[in-house]
Amino acid sequence: MSRKMLIDGEQCHQAEAEEHYDFDLFVIGAGSGGVRASRFSASHGAKVGICELPFDPISSEVVGGIGGTCVIRGCVPKKILVYGASFGPELQDARNFGWDLNEKVDFDWKKLLQKKTDEIVRLNGIYKRLLTNSGVKMYEGEGKIVGPHEVEVTQLDGTKICYSAKHILIATGSRAVIPDIPGKVSACSSLYIAVEFASIWNGMGAKVDLCFRRELPLRGFDDEMRAVVARNLEARGINMHPRTNLTELIKTENGIKVITDHGEELLADAVLFATGRAPNSKRLNLNAVGVEVDKHGAVKVNEYSQTTVPSIWAIGDVTNRMNLTPVALMEGSYFANTVFGDEPTKPDYNFVPYAVFCIPPLSVVGQSEEEAVEKGNGDILVYTSSFNPMKNTISGRQEKTVMKLVVDGDTQKVLGASMCGPDAPEIMQGIAVALKCGATKKQFDSTVGIHPSAAEEFVTMRSVTRRIEAGCKLKTNL
């Protein structure tokens, strides 16, 4: 066997012949992408091994868990918290629908956290069973690459074992970037996580201040929709601080004193820095085996997810292409098709829908208005609809739903769609199918809507809100 126990720093020995490989595929990282790639590769007949750090709800360099960031400490627990936070405003709205509620409604934060933890423990078990039922061999420990066909796994007791594989897949994801705050520094952000957690804490009754460096939150999204989100956050009671950096944090008896670059002083019980994530590649020994990374630590890959070492591949956030869980799933599936399914397949990043789970949520697919104008050669037509949802007309909540379609003036092809309002992600998933199929505005117009629903607005927008002529450039510094 080519598997070898490492004693006193003894190095792994690369397999001399293909038939001596322990595995056809060894995967480092059992998050969404790694699990999908493992299962699908096994379904093609490959012998697959996978390693992952031991389970813990809070990750570090030595703990993680099968299921990865999304399942254990990312998308899934966040959505649970969003559901929990949504009940606060919903209870307020319920009074005008005839529900008599006491003035004071108690909220048990610890109970919600325990329910959240119970659910991710359950999902962790489900992911383990998925791997077992697929015939994938699991190893608990930290993996690193020590040769083109060799992975070293450090087990919980410190013992190191080496496994050989014809192919190695890196699926280690990314980690939160922690700003350096010795005394003076850094800026708070308002990308996905900051905006979502501002909504979560606000919905649970906390006073929230949201600081961000631009005029509007959610840099990179459609500017018009960013403005809608900002209005909604502010209307729900979140204190917005645009064009603001944090310069100093001071711990006091009453909490944390936050000093901004405008000279403001804010007092908080907690400060959240949502300043992004970085590829989780530092401990993989990549330089030693010739796998190239960029200046951010992202593993360089070709269109088929192959690294600069032909036998080593990488998918998901560690490649820093499009950092979304469903994209990692796509990349994992296509990797399995390419390497073991005799069907070379390139991931397709066009018309990938995504959502920001603020309250109410924002969801988009395709190009923003700014992107369409920048990339297009002809006129761009923009259709918008802003309305008070039926539920709000009864509850009295002053919060409009906004929908938007961006259309190519020459071909009438719908290039992008956006929505901010209740159920936006559920609606946008269906819109994404239409855009993926190349739907035109005429086809949207000829589709019969579901009434009464918010979604029907996407097929009843008849009048052009504005036309941006070819060659016109939108100027924005928002």
Dist CA 19 CA 190 (whole Å): 52
Q: How far is CA 308 from CA 146, 286, 319, 322, 412, in A?
A: 15, 10, 13, 20, 41
Whole-number pLDDT of residue 16 = 42
Instruction: Identify the band that residue 186 occupies on the pLDDT scale cut at 50, 70 and 90.
Output: very low
Instruction: Identify the band that residue 8 occupies on the pLDDT scale cut at 50, 70 and 90.
Output: very low
User: What count of residues does the chain have?
Assistant: 478
Q: How far is CA 254 from CA 250, 266, 268, in A?
A: 11, 11, 8
For the chain, the average pLDDT equals 92
SS3 sequence, 413-477? EEEEEEEECCCHHHHHHHHHHHHHCCCEHHHHHCCCCCCCCCHHHHHCCCCCCEEECCCCCCCCC
**Cβ atoms of residues 182 and 160 within 8 Å:** no
Q: How far is CA 130 from CA 36, 134, 135, 210, in A?
A: 10, 6, 9, 40
Measured torsion, CA atoms of residues 373, 374, 377, 378, in degrees rounded to the nearest 10: 10
| pLDDT at 14 exceeding the cut of 80 | no
Ligand-binding annotation for 220, yes or no, is: no
End-to-end, the C-alpha distance of the chain in Å comes to 60
Does residue 168 sit in helix, strand or coil?
strand
Ligand-binding annotation for 157, yes or no, is: no
Dist CA 455 CA 460 (whole Å): 10
CATH second-level architecture of 353-468?
A: 2-Layer Sandwich (3.30)
| pLDDT at 419 exceeding the cut of 90 | yes
- Domain layout of the chain by residue ranges: 23-176+277-341, 192-268, 353-468
Helix axes 32-43, 109-133, angle to 10 degrees: 20
Whole-number pLDDT of residue 104 = 78
Whole-number pLDDT of residue 103 = 75
> Per-residue pLDDT tens for 326-335?
999 999 999 9
Among 409, 404, 351, 405, residue whose Cα is nearest residue 377: 409
**Cβ atoms of residues 5 and 160 within 8 Å:** yes
Ligand-binding annotation for 260, yes or no, is: no
Ligand-binding annotation for 184, yes or no, is: no
Least confident interval from 176-180, 225-229, 255-259: 176-180
* pLDDT, mean of residues 434-444: 98
* pLDDT, mean of residues 315-322: 98
Whole-number pLDDT of residue 180 = 65
CATH second-level architecture of 23-176+277-341?
A: 3-Layer(bba) Sandwich (3.50)
Ligand-binding annotation for 143, yes or no, is: yes
The CATH topology of domain 192-268 is FAD/NAD(P)-binding domain (3.50.50)
Instruction: Identify the band that residue 187 occupies on the pLDDT scale cut at 50, 70 and 90.
Output: very low
Query: Which long-range contacts link 96-103 to residues 24+ away (Cβ below 8 Å)?
Result: 96/394, 96/395, 96/396, 97/394, 97/395
Ligand-binding annotation for 172, yes or no, is: yes
| pLDDT at 17 exceeding the cut of 80 | no
Least confident interval from 129-138, 183-192, 386-395: 183-192
Amino acid at 380: I
In sequence order, what are the residues at sequence separation of 6 or more whose Cβ sits closer than 8 angstroms to the Cβ of residue 184?
247, 248
| pLDDT at 12 exceeding the cut of 90 | no
Global pTM exceeds 0.85: yes
Whole-number pLDDT of residue 102 = 78
* Higher pLDDT, residue 181 or 218: 218
Q: Is the peptide bond before 452 cis (omega within 30 degrees of 0)?
A: yes
Decide whether 23-176+277-341 matches 353-468 in CATH topology: no
Among 307, 340, 320, 247, residue whose Cα is nearest residue 280: 320
The backbone torsions φ and ψ at residue 115, rounded to the nearest 5 degrees and listed phi first, read: -65, -40
Residue burial 96-133, b: 16+ Cβ < 10 Å; e: rest: eeeeeeeeeeeeeeeebeeebeeebeebbeebbebbee
Ligand-binding annotation for 174, yes or no, is: yes
Annotated catalytic residues are 451
> Per-residue pLDDT tens for 292-309?
999 999 999 999 999 999
Pairing verdict, β 312-314 and 4-6: unpaired
Whole-number pLDDT of residue 398 = 94
Dist CA 136 CA 365 (whole Å): 35
Is the dihedral angle over the CA atoms 54, 56, 60, 66 positive or is it negative?
A: positive
* pLDDT, mean of residues 333-339: 98
Q: How far is CA 468 from CA 29, 291, 370, 438, 458, in A?
A: 46, 45, 10, 21, 20
| pLDDT at 135 exceeding the cut of 90 | yes
The backbone torsions φ and ψ at residue 122, rounded to the nearest 5 degrees and listed phi first, read: -60, -45
* Higher pLDDT, residue 475 or 177: 177
**Cβ atoms of residues 124 and 133 within 8 Å:** no
